[in-house]
């Protein structure tokens, strides 16, 4: 099931500098950051998503998985490393798997599937539709000698 494999995630703003490498992060760019990174990301990049490789006073280094664009849409990346200066980040958030949300969504999906099967909309195990319509002509086959 899609809901079981994708799961639900929540984001929380990063507080302080103690975020460990390997954490999934979302970095929302400032206007100055968007301008500075335009050659690498394009001028409509809004949020950089990926795995934190390292962070120091000079830059965030992220293995980028995707870029969310200003007017919607997304660019998928393959883990390329990107250095982003702290002054180019408007908001840094940590992305975490939410077991509770995933359980609720999964239960809802299972409930819908069970409801469909029980109501007979799927059509599994049902008998033939009954006798032929009255406008059909009945035929009798006689075998040849």
Q: What is the pLDDT of residue 4?
A: 43
Tens digit of each residue's pLDDT, the chain (145 residues): 443 445 566 677 776 667 889 999 999 999 999 999 999 999 999 999 999 999 988 899 999 999 999 999 999 999 999 999 999 999 999 877 666 766 677 777 777 777 777 776 555 555 555 666 666 666 777 788 7
Quickly tell me which residue has 């002509």 as its tokens: 137
User: What integer pLDDT is reported at residue 119 of this predicted model?
Assistant: 72
* Domain chopping of the chain, boundaries: 10-97
What integer pLDDT is reported at residue 113 of this predicted model? 77
Residues contacting residue 48 through CB under 8 Å, at least 6 positions apart: 26, 27, 29, 41, 62, 64, 67, 82, 84
The CATH architecture annotation of domain 10-97 reads: Roll (2.30)
Task: Find where tokens 């798997």 sit.
Answer: 97
C-alpha gyration radius of the chain: 28
């Amino acid at each position: 099931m899609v809901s079981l494999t994708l799961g639900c995630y929540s984001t929380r703003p990063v507080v302080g500098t103690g975020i460990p490498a390997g954490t999934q992060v979302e970095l929302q760019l400032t206007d100055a950051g968007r301008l500075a990174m335009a050659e690498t990301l394009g001028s409509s990049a809004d949020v950089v998503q990926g795995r934190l490789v390292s962070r120091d006073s000079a830059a965030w280094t992220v293995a980028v998985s995707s870029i969310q664009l200003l007017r919607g849409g997304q660019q998928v990346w393959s883990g390329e490393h990107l250095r982003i200066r702290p002054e180019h980040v408007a908001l840094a958030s940590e992305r975490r798997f939410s077991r509770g949300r995933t359980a609720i969504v999964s239960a809802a999906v299972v409930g819908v599937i069970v409801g469909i099967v029980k109501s007979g909309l799927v059509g599994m195990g049902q008998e033939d539709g009954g006798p032929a319509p009255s406008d059909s002509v009945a035929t009798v086959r006689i075998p040849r000698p």
